[in-house]
């Protein structure tokens, strides 16, 4: 497999003398399997030069597969400028995370509407097919693609590409659910179960291309922006047994020397790990050949199809476990609509019983409950013998900001996320919808 970086910058293109070595174009990576299958990861501004190169090399008429991680601007802004889309013989399949109201075709239509761009999506001359995705797997040419959601402020997928006995994982943009353990050794397992799941997704990869926009020191001022500190990414890669780690999605405020410094820091941290890990900062124009004497075993058990069908989804169920009747009424009024059914319980014991019998898509759980408190319920759900119960995402509601110790305890108990009261209705709705999109009825659990 051959990999080439066409854009490595995050958030916004940054041209100029300060970004000459690592490049100023936003996310775009070209992957070619040995049999010629072509995959393009993201359509940031870097895709413009890739398109021109394909046309120059007489590849305008070929078939290609564009895999978009999410539809933030820096990952799609190059799409209208990708020359092969204007070649009548070209055939492009465009994949992106789907779900309620998140269709890729709709997003690109908006991007190319007449207020924003002179050429409409309908005017592309190549044959372009759009496919919305959920978690699962699908095949493009010789490449097996496995998808998994990433923690980011919009619906985002990571892509695991398995071909020719090699594994490449493309995981940008991602923010750790929890930075803990803060004082662990390099390669320590994260405490949050969703971060642990992320580590499994990277498992045994020959190359991981991962968001590493900040350092741990810079992170507190940027928490919630959806990106990773490089040191924690090294921990994930070590913990997952990865061979090479490309730090990616460089901050637009970081000049080449700053990116150098982050790469050095990350490599020093990696050197303290128990197994070898090569770490480098991805640079625009860089090409990598993935080949090894000991190919990975890539024949793990099959997963569900990641291709989202058009059939409508049944309404999702949210189980609300809250003892205060006023709060319960308020939350119910905020959440309930045609697509969402809210069930409620006034104490933990009843809530646990309903989780086991009704299999909700999400639990919203108050921390302070009469009888068994929220964390006890959380632990009981995570220890359940039924996987559909064990994997229910749990959003914790708390009356006060959690101190470090309680936070670690909550995530260790299996909490997925938490919100501090008083809760803004818009924030509650967006968090609940975000988790429901990631755990839709019928979507693979675990």
Residues that bind Zn ion (CB under 5 A): 10, 72, 74, 173
The single residue listed with the structure tokens 């399997």 is: 33
Closest C-alpha among 30, 10, 32 to residue 19:
10
Q: For residues 141 and 153, which CB has a smaller minimum distance to Zn ion in the complex? A: 153
Minimum gap (Å) between residue 70 Cβ and Zn ion: 6
Minimum gap (Å) between residue 207 Cβ and Zn ion: 19
Tell me if 22 sits within 8 A of 281, measured CB to CB.
yes
Q: For residues 174 and 236, which CB has a smaller minimum distance to Zn ion in the complex? A: 174
CA atoms within 13 A on the CB side of 44: 31
Q: For residues 6 and 269, which CB has a smaller minimum distance to Zn ion in the complex? A: 6
Minimum gap (Å) between residue 395 Cβ and Zn ion: 22
Closest C-alpha among 377, 315, 389, 384 to residue 345:
377
Q: For residues 7 and 60, which CB has a smaller minimum distance to Zn ion in the complex? A: 7
Q: For residues 7 and 10, which CB has a smaller minimum distance to Zn ion in the complex? A: 10
Minimum gap (Å) between residue 41 Cβ and Zn ion: 12
Burial pattern 248-262, b for ≥16 Cβ within 10 A else e, equals bbbbbebbbeebeeb
Minimum gap (Å) between residue 73 Cβ and Zn ion: 8
Residue 61: phi, psi to the nearest 5?
-95, 5
Minimum gap (Å) between residue 11 Cβ and Zn ion: 6
Minimum gap (Å) between residue 225 Cβ and Zn ion: 9
Minimum gap (Å) between residue 407 Cβ and Zn ion: 25
Strand partners of residue 136: 147
Burial degree of 438 (CB within 10 A; 0-12, 13-18, 19+): buried
Alpha carbons 395 and 52: distance in angstroms, whole number:
47
CA distances from 45 to 9, 27, 81, 89, 155 (A): 9, 7, 8, 23, 21
Strand partners of residue 162: 144, 167
Alpha carbons 28 and 46: distance in angstroms, whole number:
5
Q: For residues 141 and 252, which CB has a smaller minimum distance to Zn ion in the complex? A: 252
Q: Which residue is nearest to Zn ion (CB)?
A: 72
């Amino acid at each position: 497999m051959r990999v080439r970086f066409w854009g490595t910058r995050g958030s916004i293109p940054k041209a100029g003398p300060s970004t000459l070595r690592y490049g100023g174009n936003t996310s775009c990576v070209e992957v070619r399997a040995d049999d010629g299958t072509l995959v393009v990861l993201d359509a940031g501004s870097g895709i413009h030069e890739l398109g021109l190169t394909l046309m120059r090399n007489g590849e305008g008429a070929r078939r290609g597969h564009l895999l978009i991680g999410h539809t933030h601007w820096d990952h799609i802004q190059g799409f209208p400028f990708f020359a092969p889309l204007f070649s009548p013989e070209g055939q492009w399949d465009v994949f992106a995370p789907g779900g309620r109201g998140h269709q890729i075709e709709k997003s690109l239509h908006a991007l190319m509407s007449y207020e924003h761009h002179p050429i409409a999506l309908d005017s592309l001359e190549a044959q372009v097919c759009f496919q919305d995705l959920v978690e699962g797997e699908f095949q493009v040419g010789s490449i097996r693609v496995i998808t998994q959601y990433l923690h980011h402020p919009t619906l985002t997928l990571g892509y695991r590409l398995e071909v020719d006995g090699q594994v490449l994982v493309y995981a940008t943009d991602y923010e750790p659910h929890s930075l803990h353990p803060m004082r662990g050794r390099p390669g320590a397992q994260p405490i949050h179960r969703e971060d642990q799941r992320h580590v499994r997704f990277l498992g045994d990869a020959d190359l991981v291309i991962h968001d590493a926009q900040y350092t741990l020191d810079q992170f507190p001022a940027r928490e919630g922006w959806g990106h990773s500190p490089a040191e924690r990414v090294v921990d994930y890669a070590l913990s997952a047994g990865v061979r090479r780690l490309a730090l990616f999605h460089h901050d637009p405020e970081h000049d080449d020397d700053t990116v150098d410094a982050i790469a050095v820091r990350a490599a020093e941290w990696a050197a303290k790990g128990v197994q070898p890990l090569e770490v480098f900062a991805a640079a625009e124009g860089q090409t990598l050949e993935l080949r090894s004497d000991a190919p990975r075993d890539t024949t793990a058990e099959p997963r569900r199809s990641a291709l989202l069908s058009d059939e409508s989804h049944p309404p999702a169920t949210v189980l609300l476990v809250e003892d205060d009747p006023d709060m319960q009424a308020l939350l119910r009024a905020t959440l309930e609509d045609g697509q969402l059914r809210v069930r409620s319980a006034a104490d933990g014991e009843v809530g646990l019983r309903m989780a086991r019998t009704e299999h909700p898509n999400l639990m919203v759980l108050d921390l302070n409950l009469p009888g068994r408190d929220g964390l006890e319920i959380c632990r009981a759900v995570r220890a359940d013998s039924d996987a559909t119960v064990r994997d229910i995402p749990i959003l914790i509601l708390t009356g006060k900001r959690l101190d470090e110790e309680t936070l670690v305890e909550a995530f260790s108990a299996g909490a997925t996320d938490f919100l501090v009261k008083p809760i803004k209705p818009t924030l509650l709705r967006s968090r609940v919808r975000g988790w429901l999109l990631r755990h839709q009825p019928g979507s693979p659990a675990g």
